[in-house]
A and B are shown apart, each in its own frame.
Chain A
Amino acid sequence: DVKVTQSSRYLVKRTGEKVFLECVQDMDHENMFWYRQDPGLGLRLIYFSYDVKMKEKGDIPEGYSVSREKKERFSLILESASTNQTSMYLCASTDPPFNEKLFFGSGTQLSVL
């Protein structure tokens, strides 16, 4: 069965901390995405990647960066966490060649205090 795994289900951090959210997929997908999900706002794209060491900004990249050193792993980094980054973070990947279906991880609920 295909799988997108996010390392933590719940995470609590302090304001100003550097936070790493990890995502691993076992499907050899080229495309990986990070979304944040907030009530009433749906899913908003933070960053995505089409290949190793490649990254593109989504709609809300401010305050975030990403790293993709290996094809299967896509990390989201909060350089200095702030309370307005408290949210549910969802990682996803798509299947080639048409990239029409997103496979999602189960999400990381991040609370920044």
Chain B
Amino acid sequence: AQSVTQLGSHVSVSEGALVLLRCNYSSSVPPYLFWYVQYPNQGLQLLLKYTTGATLVKGINGFEAEFKKSETSFHLTKPSAHMSDAAEYFCAVLHYNTGNQFYFGTGTSLTVIP
């Protein structure tokens, strides 16, 4: 079975500080990688994705993530946190050879302190 690990179920940062949310996956074949965000009382929406090509991908709201095959990681970063970034963040992988199923991490709740 595929596995996605998000280190830290809760992360707190000060407004204006760097945001770093960690994600590691277990797979012998590089998967497609995603970050989704869930704002309170809403469903999930896509933040960014990596499929092929450039390993540094940029998403909405100033977020970016870098695929590092040697570390099997896909950490999410944002240089300067904003109050509106407070949300739940989910890392996910997609393997076409396992039936087009997405596998999600357990989520990281981001709190931004004013």
Contacts and interface: CB of A to CB of B under 8 A. Distances in A.
A-side interface mostly? strand
Interface string B17-42: 00000000000000010001000011
B99 interface: yes
Contacts of B49: 100-101
Given A100-B51, A104-B45, A40 B101 contact: no
Interface of A: 4, 31, 33, 35, 40-45, 48, 50, 56, 58, 90, 92, 94, 98-102, 104-107
A1 to B, nearest CB: 12
A45 B101 contact: yes
B77 interface: no
Given A56-B99, A99-B100, A100-B49, A42 B43 contact: no
